[in-house]
Chain A
């Protein structure tokens, strides 16, 4: 008989047994305060992912009327999309893009949930306004003028996740989620280790020069020096002391994930290094499909799906302590343009993945695509505030509702129920 990953986790190979076999992995994501929060990974789909093309209401007559078939997921034929059980509306056949094979499997296995018609309640069709609002955890113009920090920076602050190593942006710079975080580390890659260029002599001079100097540059230098020390000595090395490439578990191949491969691989590597990683971010680009969408979108969906599937497989031992949530700044226009693409729209799709996710279901409320149901008559309307999804995810991660400062002004609605919260802390072992 075949065991699913979940069976393995539940059958005693879970937290206790499997982890004790692997020295150095025991305290994955243990905080300094000893609370096992697990690891939260936020993946941004940069550019505005066309949620209507990722998960199409394939049988919806309004949808079929408004869009050329190349920009819809088909319900039949050679490129039929994956049927999604437990959709939002029993009258609508929701189909996941056929290139999202990995996601379809995770959905079927009950560990992946989708929230459709989710997004920013504020009316904006600008990448940069929408991104700034989401990264600051807000939803109106007035708050944007006041907000000077990112939602994950405030989450770190609120929970005291301030030890270096607790928060990592797997990118060249920390990005807006961590705006104003003093301790987030930007680590795009560990391929060549994370040592000091020039070795210990340079490190010695720099630690003296940066040690007591005033100003933001000196502070940044000190953070960099300590982060390099923290991370580099945990990178595996050969006898000649050369950094070794990271070897994912279960022969996972990240390559098909394209630009998502490096950040997710880096997150997995850091998570297994025992530096107390609890919050990480990663980016995948290529969603701004104003032109030539059929091919470009297929490629992006393929990378996205392959990336999440590879990461989840590589992290198979930690599923019950892993939470991945994905978000894009907006969805795209219902009607396509003459460039075979779509312009900026409103609501889109969020995905939540993890061992404690009540997956295999779609969440939210389907507003429909009839003209009068559309946002300003042109776009899929937002029926679930993106902060509803993020706050349920944070509640599961923190073990309690996140501090109100994370999403200022946000009033949570009735929970969607994305997580089996009761199982979060102690995975049960069947007898």
Chain B
């Protein structure tokens, strides 16, 4: 169960049996080759899901209060970009809707997807290549494309290709402002975070060398161990002209179309010679070549292998992952760096390692995982709702809404603040009691037979924890204060059902359920 708590969003009873029967490697192998068409449970629910949509009247539009099905998740960027172009004609709620649809789909998939490992990795890469869909309407509108064509498409793929997909994505071009970077005085925002957060990592930032590139060990051989400010400045120049078709004028005569798509504008590019990571770039190379060479160098850099593999291990094997698993991952990462399934190979190595198997209580579940694991273990057919993702946010994980490009921290401590614990508890209670219309908690058949607090506690503790620990059962029953062996009434009566839901919530609020 601990393994399924880290490589998946928690275990359903049948998952545990399945892994027991087939073995862990077979489960991992199947998960590494997800077949989207086979994810029928998700498709069926996405087609059925309706979310409320409301806003007031404006100068050019009437008030709206309706229930809308999801409509934007599979649309190309140019099909949703009119939300930006025609912003004066509609309420801002229309531009927040793409973000809400992705958020709802993310929760739904976390609970119901067959491809649980891909969901965990999609979440990992959204944090790694963080964008903030709450901070900018353009990022919100671009989020369906970013989630689908960038993050999910490459989550198990090749890191170099992934980097270019991110670098040319509308969401990232807006979020880290490369969109407006022009020859003359380039915008350094994206270039700096490319080095520091997406690839080499901050440990490879030799901040005291500034522009003294020859002083970086390895530079003479064209293999500097780290990067300096000059690399950031030069890489920023390399990415000038990588922008978005946003309707801007190129010169007095020409104008970009307003499609929201990536475009390279030669006349905005700084074509003169550059030097990045001790490599000389010739002046006036072919279109896009400067930026692509930067991506080649950072993708291949040993510091990138170390940095990204450490992060992957931290997610799967614990906050402070043993160096053996990290080094094994680094080795595969480097050996497979030209392979289409590079990331899948690395993840396989981590998930089949003894360090992964040995980890216990190594990660505090993130708030989304608390909800999903609760639903999966109890058989709750959860459907997303806005109050649900708001409370997931209050508990520390505002999906697609982390303002800083670091992405949400992955260290357990972050989620254990007073505020985090309080909202984590509130979250599970509200889901169990169906306070937001996310679905009724099923009552286990033995409880229908014998509707006592003890039976409910035994059933829910067993489903959520894998076993019923005696002290925990005693604490729960004693604290409840309801006679443990006296029936609470007909479990199908709403008020009685709520009491059983409370017992389930308390079983999930226990410290033992918070970490995997």
Contact = CB atoms under 8 A, between A and B. Distances in A.
Interface of A: 46, 122-129, 141, 169, 171-174, 185-188, 194, 196-198, 201-202, 204-211, 213, 215-218, 220-221, 223-224, 227-228, 285, 288, 290-292, 335-341, 343-344, 376
A400 to B, nearest CB: 30
Contact of B188 (A220, A228, A340, A344): A344
A343 B176 CA distance: 12
B421 A221 contact: yes
Query: Which of B184, B196, B208, B425 has the most C-beta atoms of chain A within 10 angstroms of its own C-beta?
Result: B425
Contacts of B418: 185-187, 220, 223-224, 227-228
B76 interface: no
A125 B192 contact: yes
Given A290-B177, A291-B189, A337-B188, A206 B509 contact: yes
Interface in B159-189: 176-177, 180-189
B262 interface: no
Given A216-B413, A224-B422, A209 B510 contact: yes
11 contacts: A128-B202, A173-B417, A173-B420, A201-B481, A201-B502, A209-B475, A217-B361, A218-B511, A220-B416, A337-B181, A338-B184
Contact of A197 (B189, B429, B478): B429
A41 B424 CA distance: 28
Contacts of B379: none
B89 to A, nearest CB: 23
A354 B221 CA distance: 56
Given A187-B418, A210-B511, A376 B187 contact: no
Interface string B412-438: 111111111110011001100000000
Interface SS of A by simple majority:
loop
A204 B417 contact: no
Nearest to B177: A291
B205 interface: yes
Interface string B494-515: 0000000010011001111011
B396 A173 contact: yes
B327 interface: no
Given A122-B207, A208-B479, A376-B210, A186 B509 contact: no
Contacts of A337: 181, 185-188
A35 to B, nearest CB: 25
Contacts of B181: 337-339
Contacts of B512: 213
Given A338-B180, A339-B180, A209 B502 contact: no
Given A123-B207, A128-B202, 5 more contacts: A125-B229, A196-B422, A208-B479, A213-B512, A339-B181
Contacts of A127: 404
A31 to B, nearest CB: 20
A341 B502 contact: no
| Interface footprint category on B | 35 or more
A224 to B, nearest CB: 4
Nearest to B476: A205
B403 interface: yes
Query: Which of A46, A171, A172, A201 has the most C-beta atoms of chain B within 10 angstroms of its own C-beta?
Result: A172
Nearest to B514: A217
Contacts of A343: 187-189, 192
B480 A291 contact: no
Nearest to A290: B189
A87 B189 CA distance: 33
Given A123-B207, A172-B396, A205-B475, A186 B189 contact: no
B49 interface: no
A185 B417 CA distance: 7
A213 B475 CA distance: 11
Contacts of A207: 479
Given A173-B417, A174-B417, A227-B418, A202 B425 contact: yes
B509 A344 contact: no
A335 B187 CA distance: 11
B38 to A, nearest CB: 36
Nearest to A127: B404
Contacts of B403: 285
A339 B243 CA distance: 12
Given A197-B422, A204-B481, A208-B478, A141 B208 contact: yes
B347 interface: no
Contacts of B502: 198, 201-202
A397 to B, nearest CB: 23
B472 interface: yes
B394 interface: yes
A24 to B, nearest CB: 22
Nearest to B419: A186
A335 B185 contact: yes
Contacts of B510: 209
B189 A220 contact: no
Interface in B175-233: 176-177, 180-189, 192, 196-197, 202, 205, 207-208, 210-211, 229, 232
Contact of B472 (A209, A228, A344): A209
A46 B177 CA distance: 18
A205 B479 contact: yes
Interface string B231-264: 0100000000000000000000000000000000
B440 to A, nearest CB: 18
Query: Which of A128, A227, A335 has the most C-beta atoms of chain B within 10 angstroms of its own C-beta?
Result: A128
A217 B188 contact: no
Interface string B479-500: 1110000000000000000000
B479 A204 contact: yes
Nearest to A285: B403
B364 interface: yes
Interface in B289-313: none
A197 B433 CA distance: 12
A417 B426 CA distance: 48
Contacts of B413: 216
Contacts of A209: 472, 475-476, 479, 506, 509-511
Contacts of A125: 192, 207, 229, 232
A129 B205 contact: yes
Nearest to A172: B419
A215 B419 contact: no
A182 B414 CA distance: 13
Nearest to B515: A217
Contacts of A194: 422
A215 B417 contact: no
